[in-house]
Chains A and B, each alone.
Chain A
Amino acid sequence: MKIVITGGKHEADYIVSKLKKEHHHLIVINQDRDFAEYISANNDIDVFPGDPTKAYVLSDAEGQNADVLLALSDSDTDNYITCITAKKLFNVKRTVAKVKNPKNVELFKRLGIDSVISSTYLLAQTILNESSVENIIKTLSIEDEKIVMLEIGVEEDFSIVNKRLMDIEFPSNINISCIFRDPHVIIPKGDTLIKADDKLIIITTPNDQDEIVEYIQKRK
């Protein structure tokens, strides 16, 4: 693949060293002359010193028709201009911009940048995912831990959504004792449909617990 890497400091250096091992055709552009020399010496590669938001720099570096361009500078605006220039004028297939302001993730995508990376945005997503994992399963052991009660939140892309209980091939030793569908509490029968956002209260044994959680959380 032909990959253009513009701007950035240590992240550029790291990505260059990783990609170089995989024998991609790399074009590196860096406006900071000292850092351009550092990356060049560190990775035994030519680095074009120049401002990648200027069309002639991309042209001199022969970035046209690249498969991917990564814009890693500290300025969100400059990264946008680099990506749009690459796309509109140099037929670069995929553009990736780093942004500092997490609000720019959605905006840049809307303006035509293929991928937008914000470390703050990723961090927030990770925290959200982590906390939802914690919310999904609450367990309670009874009778000297021979019986466990699980509470699992159903998400809309689970494969069991919109199926009748009798049609789902559950693993053994499971009893769905109760479905909490805000504000109702349902004691399920075979023909009860499972819906997104349901909370399932399940009775099982500690040995079967992992298999059951995995089964219920299977996604479509």
Chain B
Amino acid sequence: MKRNKFIVIGSGRLGSNIATSMSELGEDVIIIDAQDDSFRKLQESFSGYQVVGDATDLTILENSYIKHAKTVVITTDSDNVNIYLAHICFYVYNVPKIFVRLSDTDKGKLLEGTTIKAIYPFNLSYSEFMDLNVGEEDK
């Protein structure tokens, strides 16, 4: 089985931008969102596939070639949904690379024992603030 798909779940600002960039880099991208109008955020250079549907339904995931995924990026607006989907991708479909966005840093504990990588906007903003603040004080 060839794993060559790059799947993005959740077409918000982050998801749609990742999907567009990876598509520009030549990846075979599939983006899933429950709402049709979320795909408006995709740039014109996006040349992948759009799937409208609830990704927590396995039929939708399988129709989106989850079995052929080399990477899945999960960015829906619910941490619970994101972790649930990450677990499904890891334990059921053995996707090699899984990235998941989490607002609540505590939830990261549920990813222990897996190779799932979490992205925490909180941590990123916080360290950015600390860096910026240090830069200011040096002046």
Stretch at the interface among A79-87, A159-167, A198-206: A79-87
Say whether A56 faces chain B, with CB atoms less than 8 Å apart.
yes
Say whether A151 faces chain B, with CB atoms less than 8 Å apart.
no
Whether A80 contacts B58 by the Cβ 8 Å rule is no
Say whether A110 faces chain B, with CB atoms less than 8 Å apart.
yes
Whether A77 contacts B56 by the Cβ 8 Å rule is yes
- Docked CA distance A75–B84 (Å): 12
Expressed in whole angstroms, the minimum distance between the Cβ of B91 and any Cβ of chain A is 6
Selected contact of B112 from candidates A55, A56, A78, A88, CB within 8 Å? A88
Say whether B110 faces chain A, with CB atoms less than 8 Å apart.
yes
Whether B58 contacts A81 by the Cβ 8 Å rule is no
- Docked CA distance A24–B87 (Å): 33
Chain A contributes a number of interface residues (CB within 8 A of B) equal to 19
- Docked CA distance A163–B1 (Å): 45
> Known contacts being A107-B88, A107-B92, A111-B91, is A56 close to B80, with CB within 8 Å?
no
Expressed in whole angstroms, the minimum distance between the Cβ of A24 and any Cβ of chain B is 27
> Known contacts being A110-B92, A111-B88, is A103 close to B80, with CB within 8 Å?
no
Find chain B residues with CB under 8 A from A85 CB.
110
* Most chain A beta-carbon contacts within 10 A, residue among B83, B84, B104: B84
Interface of A is mostly: helix
Whether A81 contacts B83 by the Cβ 8 Å rule is yes
Chain B contributes a number of interface residues (CB within 8 A of A) equal to 18
Interface of B is mostly: helix
Expressed in whole angstroms, the minimum distance between the Cβ of B102 and any Cβ of chain A is 12
Q: Which of B36-94 contact A (CB under 8 A)?
A: 56-58, 78, 80-81, 83-84, 87-88, 91-92
Say whether A76 faces chain B, with CB atoms less than 8 Å apart.
yes
> Known contacts being A81-B110, A85-B110, is A111 close to B80, with CB within 8 Å?
no
Whether B109 contacts A77 by the Cβ 8 Å rule is no
* Most chain B beta-carbon contacts within 10 A, residue among A53, A76, A81: A81
Expressed in whole angstroms, the minimum distance between the Cβ of A210 and any Cβ of chain B is 45
> Known contacts being A77-B81, A88-B112, A111-B91, is A103 close to B106, with CB within 8 Å?
no
> Known contacts being A85-B110, A107-B92, is A77 close to B58, with CB within 8 Å?
no
- Docked CA distance A79–B112 (Å): 19
Say whether A54 faces chain B, with CB atoms less than 8 Å apart.
yes
Whether A111 contacts B87 by the Cβ 8 Å rule is yes
Say whether A89 faces chain B, with CB atoms less than 8 Å apart.
yes
Find chain A residues with CB under 8 A from B109 CB.
55, 88-89
Whether A78 contacts B80 by the Cβ 8 Å rule is yes
- Docked CA distance A88–B104 (Å): 17
Expressed in whole angstroms, the minimum distance between the Cβ of B121 and any Cβ of chain A is 18
Apart from the given pairs A55-B106, A84-B110, A88-B109, 6 other A-B contacts in the complex at a CB distance below 8 Å: A55-B109, A77-B80, A80-B87, A89-B110, A103-B57, A110-B91
* Closest A-B pairs by Cβ, 3 of them: A81-B80, A77-B84, A77-B80
**30 pairs from A and B in contact (CB 8 Å cutoff):** A53-B80, A54-B104, A55-B106, A55-B107, A76-B56, A77-B78, A77-B80, A77-B81, A78-B80, A80-B80, A80-B84, A80-B87, A81-B83, A81-B110, A84-B83, A84-B87, A84-B110, A85-B110, A88-B109, A88-B110, A89-B109, A89-B110, A101-B57, A103-B57, A103-B58, A107-B58, A107-B88, A111-B87, A111-B88, A111-B91
